């Protein structure tokens, strides 16, 4: 009986340790997804700005290509995760929250893209997209307790307010690029730097048995 009690105590300590480690990991993000998404949006914005001046293709050509490829990628991810990903995944509160946030974000994104092609002007549509970015970035930053993203969200909303008064597509594209730079790219690189530093510190601690 004493052995069983001691084993139970060890297991309990192990479970507590795992919970602490999981909680620590929930507060960290490598920022890679935000960096990739932000740079893609940034580049398409600048190329669309240049296209509006040079008139290489139709005004929304690059956004149509980007939207089609993005939609195909996300459909692929959904199919892969639901039907082919059999590896068990440890669920956490923050992970579940961000997963639902992503679903809501991309449903809203799809809704706005359809609206821009059916009923609203693209300049107004991209302004609404900036507002949507700010909402996603704020919730993401609050969930991970990441201050740069929270600050980036309010800067993004500020740029979105400026975009409300811009009636030219080329100006909206520059403001859109600035919004994703402040909301996604800069916080993403800060998160990535902090994540790599924490990984390096963790490796050093393990090396020295701390």
Select the more confidently predicted residue: 58 or 95: 58
Task: Name every residue whose Cβ is closer than 8 Å to that of residue 57 and which is 6 or more positions away in sequence.
Answer: 51
63-119, pLDDT tens digit by residue? 888 878 877 777 777 777 666 665 555 556 666 777 777 788 888 888 888 888 788
149-174, pLDDT tens digit by residue? 999 999 999 999 999 998 899 999 99
pTM for the model = 0.76
| pLDDT attached to residue 5 | 46
SS (H, E, C) 126-155: HHHHHHHHHHHHHHHHHHCCCHHHHHHHHH
């Amino acid at each position: 009986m004493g052995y069983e009690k001691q084993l139970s105590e060890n297991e309990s300590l192990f479970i507590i340790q795992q919970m602490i480690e999981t909680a620590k990991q929930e507060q960290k993000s490598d920022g890679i997804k935000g960096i990739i998404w932000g740079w893609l949006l940034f580049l398409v914005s600048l190329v669309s700005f240049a296209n509006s001046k040079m008139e290489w293709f139709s005004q929304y050509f690059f956004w149509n290509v980007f939207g089609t490829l993005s939609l195909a990628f996300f459909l692929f991810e959904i199919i892969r995760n639901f039907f082919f990903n059999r590896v068990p995944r440890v669920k956490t509160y923050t992970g579940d929250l961000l997963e639902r946030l992503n679903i809501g974000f991309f449903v809203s994104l799809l809704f706005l893209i359809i609206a821009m092609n059916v009923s609203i002007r693209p300049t107004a549509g991209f302004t609404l997209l900036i507002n949507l970015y700010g909402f996603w970035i704020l919730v993401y930053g609050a969930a991970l307790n990441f201050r740069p993203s929270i600050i980036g969200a309010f800067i993004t909303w500020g740029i979105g307010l400026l975009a409300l008064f811009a009636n030219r597509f080329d100006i909206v594209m520059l403001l859109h690029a600035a919004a994703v730079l402040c909301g996604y790219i800069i916080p993403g690189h800060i998160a990535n730097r902090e994540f790599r530093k924490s990984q390096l510190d963790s490796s050093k601690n393990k090396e020295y048995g701390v």
